[in-house]
Amino acid sequence: MKNFYNTFGSLSFLLLFLFVGSCKKEPEKALNFLKSTYRPDKHILQNNIDKLMAVGVPPKFCYYYYPSIEYTIGYPAGTDPQLLDRIARSVEEELSKAASILYLSYQQALNAYQSAQNNAFQLVTGAGFNYYPPTVYEPYQLCPGDDGYMALIDPCFQKMLVGNMARDSIIAAQNSTILTKTTNTSVEYGAEVKLVAPTSFSPYKSTTVRTDNATNNFNPKFTWSTTDGFTVGVSHGHPSNSAPSPADAIWLVSNINVPALRNASTEERNFFRSNVFVTVVASLHTYVITVNNWQALEKLYFEFKADEAGFNANYIRLTTEHGSSEHALLSLFGEAINLYKAPAGSTNFKPVGMAYGGTGDFVIEILCP
């Protein structure tokens, strides 16, 4: 990994620094300081090279990104902690617009960074506090051949594959029917996603949308044969508009030892591991989850099976505490899974992950170039 710096970038940041420095208030004697670092979603940095290699030649572009962005807020003694927390969270939301993004040029990255810092300055000084920009601001460059290159771009690359899958005429019709029936009845409808053959170029096999007449459960029927089709996924509705549940994530690894798949060739088993997914269709969003770390997800599988009630209770607790089922899912499964999200009726999926900052963690959509 190489760190680049150029004269134009130095001059443009100097102008920003002078602007910020000339406008901010002078520190007062009673001033306290909150110094923290916003780190973009570490989910995007996972070492997932084998998955990208399995689907084709990696892109040949160099990318620029910010692995972290420091910030400091000066605030008077006696400031309401909740107010300070809200301001810090707003700053991190602004900085996330520059971080968690892969840029195709140094200047594009620098411009985004300066814009985010200027917006953060306006937010903080507008609340009566002081804002101090960091002194280190250069984006990092990552090119083919550099350590971590393919791990960095993998979620953004895979989202294209997820979108292509969702746009297939058979899958699109299947998901549309699931959404309509789930919305109209408030029970889960679903269907297996099957291929005619276990290869990347195989067409999908049409399957029947059905229901178990439950508001929070759909039981897929896994098959792995030329007669019944090769199951690589499942689509189902969530009447509650929630993200995928723990059971949905666990399903990804639950069929690897089904006799038909266990006795299949190594090539077929590896194909399944690289392509299995779960789609959740709801009236607000469509979600897709895939496996990011098979070993980590298998470990969670055994934890889940040992105490399903306790695992689900923890998921419900986290959903309630953070007001987000996405947050709960990612808190529990972390880097074991990839989570993708699109507006209802859209196939424009974006990776979703956890951002980590001075005020805790929160869910962000990873903006891909």
CB 99, CB 69: distance < 8 Å: yes
> According to the model, what pLDDT value does residue 297 have?
92
> According to the model, what pLDDT value does residue 1 have?
37
Split at pLDDT 50, 70, 90, the class of 149 is: low
Tell me: pLDDT of 41 over 70.
no
Strands (E) located in 77-214? 130-132, 140-142, 189-195, 204-205, 210-211
Q: Is 289 or 142 the better-scoring residue by pLDDT?
A: 289
3 state DSSP class of 277: strand
Average pLDDT over residues 165-174: 94
Write out pLDDT tens, residues 303-359. Answer: 999 999 999 999 999 999 988 999 999 999 988 898 999 999 899 898 888 765 544
Burial code of 255-264, b = ≥16 C-beta within 10 A, e = fewer? beeeeebeeb
Write out pLDDT tens, residues 128-138. Answer: 999 987 765 77
Q: Is 160 or 345 the better-scoring residue by pLDDT?
A: 345
Lowest mean pLDDT among 99-103, 181-185, 196-200: 99-103
Q: Where are the domains of the chain?
A: 2-147, 155-365
| Closest among 89, 69, 68, 80 to 32, alpha carbons compared | 80
> According to the model, what pLDDT value does residue 140 have?
76
Instruction: List, in order, residues 6 or more apart from 134 with CB less than 8 Å away.
Output: 69, 70, 71, 72
Split at pLDDT 50, 70, 90, the class of 274 is: confident
Tell me: pLDDT of 53 over 70.
no
> According to the model, what pLDDT value does residue 185 have?
96
Tell me: pLDDT of 219 over 70.
yes
Beta strand 130-132 with 31-38: parallel, antiparallel or unpaired?
unpaired
> According to the model, what pLDDT value does residue 183 have?
95
Tell me: pLDDT of 6 over 80.
no
> According to the model, what pLDDT value does residue 368 have?
67
